[in-house]
Amino acid sequence: MERKNQSNSTLTVTDAARLLHIHVNTVRRWSNLGIIKSYRIGPRRDRRFWKEDITALLVELKINR
């Protein structure tokens, strides 16, 4: 899938945590475990998440409840 308009469709750890209603440390842990796919950017290797991936995870979590 091609990603267009990358700056508008990527989320920070804080943004992802707000959407998922979880703590930022949980987002980082889920990223480390591969539950959420993240991308590293910049010299500090900050994490970014595709908004579509977070939305898909929300749908999956809602279905599995």
Secondary structure of residue 28 in the 3-state scheme? helix
The 10s digit of each residue's pLDDT in 19-44 is 999 999 999 999 999 999 999 999 99
Instruction: List the one residue out of 50, 54, 56, 60 whose CA is nearest residue 2.
Output: 50
pLDDT at 4 over 80: no
CB 24 within 8 A of CB 14: yes
Looking at domain 9-63, which CATH architecture does it have?
Answer: Orthogonal Bundle (1.10)
Q: How confident is the model at residue 63 (pLDDT cuts 50, 70, 90)?
A: confident
